[in-house]
Amino acid sequence: MKRRVLYISSIFSSILAAIVTFLGIFSTNRLMYLKLKDHDLILKREVLAKRFDEKWYEAVNKEILWIKSQQGYLLHAVFLQPLQTKNTVIICHGVTESKVNSFKYARLFEKLGFNSVVYDHRRHGDSGGKTTSFGFYEKDDLQAIVQSIREKIGQDAILGIHGESMGAATTILYAGTFEDEADFHIADCPFSDFTEQVLHVLRRETPFRTMMVLRIANLFLKVRDGYTLKLVSPKEVVQHIKKPMLFIHSLEDTFILPYMTEELYEKKPEPKMLKLFEKGAHAKSFNKNPEEYERVVKNFLKTYVQYF
């Protein structure tokens, strides 16, 4: 009888271990190796929408940069210099996108008197890196970008950072973790806590709706990529940011819910500004409201940066 119980227990333990292993590898693969959008499709989309002008890009004064990450790989960046100014904005794209998606913001900041730097996050576009970490390692990369650009433009120049979605979360994680060398930040539709965000996506798109899956994912993520979901939490560091920050979100966003930006805004000490657009799905605030978006950014800069 005892032998039979041990045999059944062994089978049950093996099955349970197999299930846990499957869930752990499956869930972390979905995070670490999230499918990226095709470069040509991004380019075609932005050209057709007239958010990327190929003739302008070919003619504009620019410098191609390869900046070494703290993790050892190279980050591909383009320093766009259409204006005779040292004032510069670094633009951080969202997950699955590339620097091509950032050119629309480069043109916006050109109108407002800034040159810009667009770059590919790790594992995106032309940059190195094997995994996506949703801000954990990306914040280190951003620090490397900031240090490189600050060295180029000098301490007297105004340096800003604009981030969209994962890029916005990365911006907050950078500014709230390291010595902040930027003068202002714009966070467009960031998540406030990655654990909450992953759980929201799981409940929307999969049958896995409990925290148990996240606990398993955390265990495997720590072993496979060196961090856990709870370490990717902008709301835990935003209170350390002293520089002016503009928070932007669209109320129609169902992917990253607007309450996350409101939560970050409440936790961030002054100076700060918040704009919630009525129209626009996730990361579409600028696409749907380009003129108002420009006015909001201009007002923020005029109020807190005072370079006009």
CATH value at residue 238: 3.40.50.1820
Q: Do 134 and 189 sit in the same domain of this protein?
A: yes
Q: Do 207 and 75 sit in the same domain of this protein?
A: no
Q: Do 202 and 288 sit in the same domain of this protein?
A: no
Q: Do 85 and 143 sit in the same domain of this protein?
A: yes
Q: Which residues of the chain have pLDDT under 50?
A: 5, 7, 12-13, 16-17
What is the DSSP secondary-structure string of 109-121? HHHTT-EEEEEPP
Residues 6+ apart with CB under 8 A from 97: 37, 42, 124
Q: Which of 173, 202, 227 is the last residue of a domain?
A: 227
H or E segment to which residue 277 belongs = strand 272-277
Q: What is the pTM of this model?
A: 0.93
Q: Do 43 and 125 sit in the same domain of this protein?
A: yes
**How far is C-alpha 97 from the chain's CA centre?**
10
Tokens of 279: 């129209």
Q: Which of 185, 202, 227 is the last residue of a domain?
A: 227
Q: Do 41 and 123 sit in the same domain of this protein?
A: yes
Which of 105, 224, 212 has its CA nearest to residue 161?
A: 105
Q: Which of 183, 204, 227 is the last residue of a domain?
A: 227
Tokens of 126: 């032309």
Q: How many other CB atoms are there within 10 angstroms of residue 267's CB atom?
A: 17
**How many structural domains does the chain have?**
2
Q: Do 185 and 109 sit in the same domain of this protein?
A: yes
Residue pair 124/97 in contact (Cβ under 8 Å)? The answer is yes
Q: Do 180 and 100 sit in the same domain of this protein?
A: yes
Q: Do 23 and 98 sit in the same domain of this protein?
A: no
The tens digit of pLDDT for each residue in 53-102 reads: 999 999 999 999 999 999 999 999 999 999 999 999 999 999 999 999 99
Q: What pLDDT score does 17 carry? A: 46
Q: Do 156 and 277 sit in the same domain of this protein?
A: yes
Domain that holds residue 116: 36-193+232-305
Q: Do 101 and 215 sit in the same domain of this protein?
A: no
Q: Do 28 and 40 sit in the same domain of this protein?
A: no
Q: What pLDDT score does 28 carry? A: 83
Q: What pLDDT score does 29 carry? A: 85
